[in-house]
Amino acid sequence: MKRGLLIAATVIAMMSQSATAQQQTAENRHERRTQSVEQRAQRMTDRQAGDLSLTAEQRERLYEANLKLAESQRKIYERRREEERDRMADMQKHADKYDHKLREILTSEQYAKWQAAEQQRKEQMRRKRHDAAPCKGRPMGCKQAKGKCANNNGGDSRACQRSAGN
Protein backbone atom coordinates (compact mmCIF):
# COMPACT_ATOMS: atom_id res chain seq x y z
CA MET A 1 0.00 0.00 0.00
CA LYS A 2 2.79 2.42 0.95
CA ARG A 3 4.66 1.47 -2.18
CA GLY A 4 1.60 2.22 -4.33
CA LEU A 5 1.18 5.63 -2.69
CA LEU A 6 4.86 6.36 -3.20
CA ILE A 7 4.62 5.46 -6.88
CA ALA A 8 1.46 7.56 -7.31
CA ALA A 9 3.10 10.53 -5.59
CA THR A 10 6.18 10.19 -7.79
CA VAL A 11 4.07 10.08 -10.96
CA ILE A 12 2.08 13.15 -9.90
CA ALA A 13 5.28 15.04 -9.08
CA MET A 14 6.79 14.14 -12.46
CA MET A 15 3.65 15.23 -14.32
CA SER A 16 3.58 18.52 -12.42
CA GLN A 17 7.23 19.15 -13.18
CA SER A 18 6.67 18.36 -16.87
CA ALA A 19 3.73 20.77 -17.11
CA THR A 20 5.75 23.51 -15.42
CA ALA A 21 8.68 22.92 -17.78
CA GLN A 22 6.39 23.13 -20.81
CA GLN A 23 4.94 26.41 -19.56
CA GLN A 24 8.41 27.83 -18.96
CA THR A 25 9.52 26.74 -22.43
CA ALA A 26 6.55 28.52 -24.01
CA GLU A 27 7.27 31.65 -21.99
CA ASN A 28 10.96 31.52 -22.95
CA ARG A 29 10.06 31.11 -26.61
CA HIS A 30 7.76 34.14 -26.45
CA GLU A 31 10.41 36.14 -24.61
CA ARG A 32 13.03 35.29 -27.24
CA ARG A 33 10.70 36.35 -30.06
CA THR A 34 10.10 39.75 -28.49
CA GLN A 35 13.75 40.46 -27.63
CA SER A 36 15.57 43.30 -29.31
CA VAL A 37 18.53 42.50 -31.54
CA GLU A 38 20.89 43.78 -28.83
CA GLN A 39 19.27 41.61 -26.16
CA ARG A 40 19.52 38.56 -28.37
CA ALA A 41 23.20 39.24 -29.12
CA GLN A 42 23.88 39.73 -25.40
CA ARG A 43 22.09 36.46 -24.51
CA MET A 44 24.11 34.58 -27.14
CA THR A 45 27.35 36.16 -25.92
CA ASP A 46 26.61 35.39 -22.27
CA ARG A 47 25.89 31.74 -23.05
CA GLN A 48 29.02 31.37 -25.20
CA ALA A 49 31.23 33.21 -22.72
CA GLY A 50 30.15 30.89 -19.95
CA ASP A 51 30.85 27.81 -22.06
CA LEU A 52 34.18 29.00 -23.48
CA SER A 53 35.84 30.97 -20.66
CA LEU A 54 36.49 34.02 -22.84
CA THR A 55 38.71 37.00 -22.12
CA ALA A 56 37.17 40.48 -21.98
CA GLU A 57 38.48 41.31 -25.47
CA GLN A 58 37.18 38.03 -26.91
CA ARG A 59 33.82 38.65 -25.28
CA GLU A 60 33.57 42.13 -26.80
CA ARG A 61 34.51 40.88 -30.28
CA LEU A 62 32.09 37.96 -29.93
CA TYR A 63 29.30 40.36 -28.94
CA GLU A 64 29.91 42.41 -32.09
CA ALA A 65 29.83 39.25 -34.24
CA ASN A 66 26.65 38.07 -32.51
CA LEU A 67 25.07 41.49 -32.98
CA LYS A 68 25.74 41.41 -36.72
CA LEU A 69 24.34 37.88 -36.91
CA ALA A 70 21.22 38.83 -34.95
CA GLU A 71 20.65 41.89 -37.16
CA SER A 72 20.97 39.88 -40.36
CA GLN A 73 18.68 37.17 -39.02
CA ARG A 74 16.07 39.77 -38.02
CA LYS A 75 16.17 41.27 -41.53
CA ILE A 76 15.71 37.83 -43.08
CA TYR A 77 12.81 37.10 -40.73
CA GLU A 78 11.10 40.42 -41.49
CA ARG A 79 11.61 39.98 -45.24
CA ARG A 80 10.12 36.48 -45.07
CA ARG A 81 7.09 37.78 -43.15
CA GLU A 82 6.55 40.54 -45.71
CA GLU A 83 6.83 38.09 -48.61
CA GLU A 84 4.26 35.83 -46.94
CA ARG A 85 1.86 38.77 -46.50
CA ASP A 86 2.30 39.72 -50.16
CA ARG A 87 1.73 36.13 -51.29
CA MET A 88 -1.44 35.82 -49.22
CA ALA A 89 -2.77 39.15 -50.54
CA ASP A 90 -2.05 38.02 -54.11
CA MET A 91 -3.82 34.70 -53.55
CA GLN A 92 -6.84 36.51 -52.06
CA LYS A 93 -6.98 38.84 -55.08
CA HIS A 94 -7.06 35.85 -57.45
CA ALA A 95 -9.69 34.11 -55.33
CA ASP A 96 -11.86 37.23 -55.44
CA LYS A 97 -11.56 37.39 -59.24
CA TYR A 98 -12.52 33.71 -59.47
CA ASP A 99 -15.50 34.28 -57.18
CA HIS A 100 -16.66 37.18 -59.36
CA LYS A 101 -16.41 34.97 -62.48
CA LEU A 102 -18.42 32.23 -60.79
CA ARG A 103 -21.16 34.71 -59.94
CA GLU A 104 -21.35 35.62 -63.63
CA ILE A 105 -21.43 31.97 -64.79
CA LEU A 106 -23.63 30.25 -62.19
CA THR A 107 -27.24 30.86 -61.21
CA SER A 108 -27.82 32.10 -57.66
CA GLU A 109 -28.91 28.57 -56.57
CA GLN A 110 -25.83 26.99 -58.15
CA TYR A 111 -23.58 29.62 -56.59
CA ALA A 112 -25.10 29.03 -53.14
CA LYS A 113 -24.62 25.28 -53.57
CA TRP A 114 -21.00 25.84 -54.65
CA GLN A 115 -20.38 28.10 -51.65
CA ALA A 116 -21.72 25.47 -49.23
CA ALA A 117 -19.56 22.76 -50.82
CA GLU A 118 -16.52 25.06 -50.76
CA GLN A 119 -17.05 25.87 -47.08
CA GLN A 120 -17.31 22.15 -46.27
CA ARG A 121 -14.13 21.44 -48.25
CA LYS A 122 -12.26 24.18 -46.37
CA GLU A 123 -13.40 22.77 -43.04
CA GLN A 124 -12.26 19.28 -44.02
CA MET A 125 -8.87 20.65 -45.10
CA ARG A 126 -8.52 22.53 -41.80
CA ARG A 127 -9.30 19.36 -39.82
CA LYS A 128 -6.97 17.29 -41.97
CA ARG A 129 -4.17 19.82 -41.53
CA HIS A 130 -4.68 19.81 -37.76
CA ASP A 131 -4.78 16.01 -37.55
CA ALA A 132 -1.61 15.68 -39.64
CA ALA A 133 0.31 18.30 -37.65
CA PRO A 134 2.68 17.28 -34.88
CA CYS A 135 0.87 17.20 -31.58
CA LYS A 136 3.46 19.12 -29.60
CA GLY A 137 2.96 22.86 -29.57
CA ARG A 138 0.25 24.54 -31.58
CA PRO A 139 0.34 23.99 -35.31
CA MET A 140 -0.39 27.00 -37.44
CA GLY A 141 -4.12 27.64 -37.51
CA CYS A 142 -4.81 25.15 -34.73
CA LYS A 143 -7.61 26.18 -32.40
CA GLN A 144 -6.99 23.34 -29.97
CA ALA A 145 -5.48 24.13 -26.60
CA LYS A 146 -1.77 23.48 -26.37
CA GLY A 147 -1.08 19.84 -25.61
CA LYS A 148 -4.62 18.76 -26.54
CA CYS A 149 -4.28 16.69 -29.67
CA ALA A 150 -7.35 15.65 -31.63
CA ASN A 151 -6.08 12.08 -31.32
CA ASN A 152 -6.11 12.36 -27.51
CA ASN A 153 -2.57 11.09 -27.15
CA GLY A 154 -1.45 13.69 -24.64
CA GLY A 155 0.73 15.57 -27.09
CA ASP A 156 2.98 12.69 -28.12
CA SER A 157 3.67 13.19 -31.82
CA ARG A 158 5.02 9.64 -32.16
CA ALA A 159 1.73 8.27 -30.87
CA CYS A 160 -0.06 10.54 -33.33
CA GLN A 161 2.02 9.15 -36.18
CA ARG A 162 1.42 5.58 -35.03
CA SER A 163 -2.32 6.14 -34.83
CA ALA A 164 -2.29 7.62 -38.34
CA GLY A 165 -0.53 4.49 -39.61
CA ASN A 166 2.78 6.24 -40.43
Note whether residue 95 is domain-resident.
yes
CA distance 115 to 117: 5
Note whether residue 74 is domain-resident.
yes
Whether 154 shows a pLDDT value over 70: the answer reads no
Provide the greatest CA pair distance for the chain. Answer: 77
CA distance 75 to 91: 24
Note whether residue 16 is domain-resident.
no
Note whether residue 84 is domain-resident.
yes
Note whether residue 96 is domain-resident.
yes
CA distance 74 to 132: 30
What pLDDT digit, counting tens, does each position of 110-153 carry?
999 999 999 999 999 998 888 776 555 555 545 454 545 554 44
Note whether residue 12 is domain-resident.
no
Confidence of residue 161 (pLDDT cuts 50, 70, 90): very low
Specify burial of residue 149 (Cβ count, 10 A radius: 0-12, 13-18, 19+): buried
What pLDDT digit, counting tens, does each position of 50-79 carry?
888 888 999 999 999 999 999 999 999 999
Model's pTM, two decimal places? 0.47
**Based on the structure, what is the number of domains in the chain?**
1
Whether 35 shows a pLDDT value over 50: the answer reads yes
Note whether residue 13 is domain-resident.
no
Note whether residue 122 is domain-resident.
yes
CA distance 51 to 68: 21
Structural domain boundaries, residue 146: 37-163
Q: Residue 137: what pLDDT?
A: 53
Cβ distance 143 to 123 under 8 Å? no
What pLDDT digit, counting tens, does each position of 87-112 carry?
999 999 999 999 999 999 999 999 99
